[in-house]
Amino acid sequence: MTKMIKEIMEQPRVLAGIEQANKDTLTKLVKTLNERKITQAVLSARGSSDHAAIYGQYLLGVYKGVSAALAAPSVITLYGGAPDMSGSLVVCISQSGKAADALAVLEKAKEQGAVTVTVTNNPSSPMGEKADFCLNCNAGPEESVAATKTFTAQLYLMALLAAYWSGSEELLAQLRGLPAVLEKSIDQIEEDAAKHSERFRYIKEGFVLARGYAYPIALEMALKTKETCYVKMQGYASSDFYHGPIAQVNFDDPVILLAPSGAALEDARAMAERIKSMGTQIMVVTDDPALAGENEDSVLLPLAGGEAAAAIVIAVFAQCFAQYLSVGKGLNPDEPRALKKVTITK
């Protein structure tokens, strides 16, 4: 058993403990945000953590009506700029809490009097200690280079932030029910990922598409496949894919379409039909039985109570898929070449 699959399988337990570990901090954070009348946010991260930030962008916009921008750390670290973040919530996301570029954004935001938050698996890290509030992934040690349980913990914390700040009982219900859904289904998710990865063993490149809450998961699935399998997999928002990238598609380069039930489902159905009309092989990952039945190569995931939670279930499948594809290629997903667990970029 690889460390990666071991840590993937820990995720139901990890997610089940996150709210309780962060409840007091979330309550105090939301009180501060409301007292300060904060209406905008800046999210700073790199790599997988950046995908969690994009997920947070959607949630904060949908549930709280907050405009959330992705920070450009190089504005500060390379060019000495000082973008005004004084009236904002600034969330810096880093599994290690040591990302130098995100730390630079955090420090600048604190100088300007912003409300600063770190989302990390290491509260005693420089970022964890510097921020006004620290949200703890509470995932325990993660030894595989590829982030798995820390990534879904980041997603979960961003969703909790949106739920607490907006007061959405609907979103809270999704999140509180998710660990049990995963506990019940994770063995089947692993089995499906192992089976479906077999036909991808010899691919050299491909595409992962999604829209809305699942879009950052498409980016993450592409990244996981790149780093563990050395496959040139590209992630796109399906809405953007029509605007040029679709011209790259050919029979030899498969398309993976992530299609949870919800607002983006009909768009996903239209994209699936478009890809099939081009003669290209497609794998549809969905929790909608009808869509799964319409596509010969499909993965049917369990319903998770809503589209935001469904994205996290899809993320678990994506991790399993990358792990088994890597092993099937005779590689070691725990130690991808040229990569280290902690990447310091400034």
* 149 within domain boundaries: yes
pLDDT interval class at 128 (50, 70, 90): very high
Same domain, 80 and 200: no
Q: Tell me whether residue 313 is in a domain.
A: yes
In a shared domain, residues 9 and 143 = yes
In a domain, 172, yes or no: no
Looking at residue 249, what is its pLDDT? 76
Mean confidence (pLDDT) of the chain: 93
Whether residues 154 and 35 share a domain: the answer is yes
As for how many domains the chain has, the answer is 2
Q: Is residue 32 part of a domain?
A: yes
Q: Which entry of 31, 37, 110, 340 is annotated as an active-site residue?
A: 340
Tell me what pLDDT residue 167 has. Answer: 98
Instruction: Tell me what the mean pLDDT of segment 325-341 comes to.
Output: 78
pLDDT of 279: 85
- Looking at 123, 145, 167, the residue that finishes a domain is 167
pLDDT of residue 278: 83
Distances (CA, A) of 72 to 77, 98, 237, 318: 9, 17, 20, 27
> Tokens standing for 35?
């007292």
Asked if pLDDT for residue 182 goes beyond 90, the answer is yes
pLDDT of residue 337: 63
Give phi and psi for 141, each to the nearest 5.
-60, 140
Alpha carbon separation from 41 to 101, 257, 310 (Å, rounded): 17, 30, 24
Residues 106 and 157 in one domain: yes
Between 277 and 96, the higher pLDDT residue:
96
Residues 101 and 138 in one domain: yes
182 and 324 housed in the same domain: yes
343 falls in which pLDDT band (50, 70, 90)?
A: low
89 and 225 in a single domain? The answer is: no
Helix, strand, coil: what percent of the chain each, to 5?
55, 15, 30
Choose the final residue of a domain: 134, 167, 200: 167
Range of the domain at 211: 177-328
pLDDT tens-digit series, residues 204-258: 899 999 999 999 999 999 999 999 999 999 998 888 776 777 667 777 789 999 9
Query: What is the arithmetic mean of pLDDT over 184-194?
Result: 97
The reported pLDDT for the residue numbered 247 is 61
For every residue of 108-135, DSSP letters joined together read HHHHTT-EEEEEES-TTSHHHHHSSEEE
Q: With respect to residue 241, please indicate whether it lies within any of the assigned structural domains.
A: yes
Residues 197 and 134 in one domain: no
- Same domain? For 150 and 235 the reply is no
pLDDT exceeds cutoff 80 at 293: yes
pLDDT (average), residues 76-93: 95
Residues 304, 215 share a domain: yes
Tens digit of pLDDT for each residue in 154-168? 999 999 999 999 999
* Average pLDDT rounded to a whole number, residues 1-25: 97
Q: Are 145 and 111 in contact (CB under 8 A)?
A: no
In a domain, 202, yes or no: yes
Residue 139 in this model has a pLDDT that exceeds 50: yes
Q: Does 341 score more than 50 pLDDT?
A: no
Which DSSP state fits 300? E
CATH of the domain at 12: 3.40.50.10490
CA angle in degrees (0–180, nearest 5) for 299-232-52: 65
Q: Is there a single domain that holds both residue 48 and residue 191?
A: no
Residue (of 175, 216, 186, 162) closest to 11 by Cα position:
186
The DSSP result for 200-256, as a single string, is: GTT--EEEEEE-GGGHHHHHHHHHHHHHHH--EEEEEEHHHHTTTGGGG--TTS-EE
Whether 340 sits among the annotated catalytic residues: the reply is: yes
Q: Alpha-carbon distance 138 to 152, whole Å?
A: 11
Instruction: Give domain status of residue 244, yes or no.
Output: yes
Task: Tell me the mean pLDDT in the region 101-128.
Answer: 96
Same domain as 13, residue 150? yes
Tell me the mean pLDDT in the region 332-346: 63
Angle at 315 between CA 309 and CA 281, to 5 degrees: 120
The region of weakest confidence among 21-25, 196-200, 208-212, 297-301 is 196-200
Q: Does residue 340 lie within any of the structural domains?
A: no
